[in-house]
Amino acid sequence: MTIAIWTLSIVLVAEFIASPMHLWNGRNMHFFTEFTGLKPSTGRVVFAPAMLVSAVLLAVGLIFHPLGVAGAAIITGICAIILVRLAAPTRRSPLGILAYTLFGGLSAALMILQRGQ
C-alpha cells in the first residue's frame, strides 16, 4: 500500500505542479477555456492556486497522511468540476474527458489509500 501511495502521489504532484504553471504562463489556457467555458482569469486566479496547494498538500501528505487526503480531495473536486463543465454539448472533448477522468480517478484512489493509513 505504501508503494501505491508514493507512486500515485508522485504522479499527481508532478501533474498538479506543472498544470498551474502552464495556466499562469498561458501555455494551456486554450485547453482550460475550451474544456470549461470559463474565463482565463478564473483559471489563473482560482484553479491554478488550488492545483498548486493540492500538490503541496499531497507532497506533505507523504509524511502526514491527513494532508494527503485533503490534497487528493481538492484534486478530485477540481477534476469533477471540469468534468461537469465538459458535459456541455459544445465542450465535449475526448482528450479533456480522458485526462480529467484519469487524474480524478487517481486522486480518488489515493484519497482512499491515504485514509486507510
Q: What is the pLDDT of residues 56-101, one digit of tens each?
A: 999 999 999 999 999 999 999 999 999 999 998 888 889 999 999 9
Q: Tell me the one-letter amino acid at 110.
A: L
Instruction: Report yes or no: 35 and 85 within 8 Å, Cβ to Cβ.
Output: yes
**Domain limits at 57?**
2-115
Query: For residue 27, what pLDDT is reported?
Result: 93
Is pLDDT above 80 for 116? no
**Separation of alpha carbons 44 and 26, rounded Å:** 9
Is pLDDT above 90 for 14? yes
Query: For residue 38, what pLDDT is reported?
Result: 93
| Number of independent structural domains in the chain | 1
Query: For residue 63, what pLDDT is reported?
Result: 93
The CB density around residue 109, as the number of other CB atoms within 10 Å, is 15
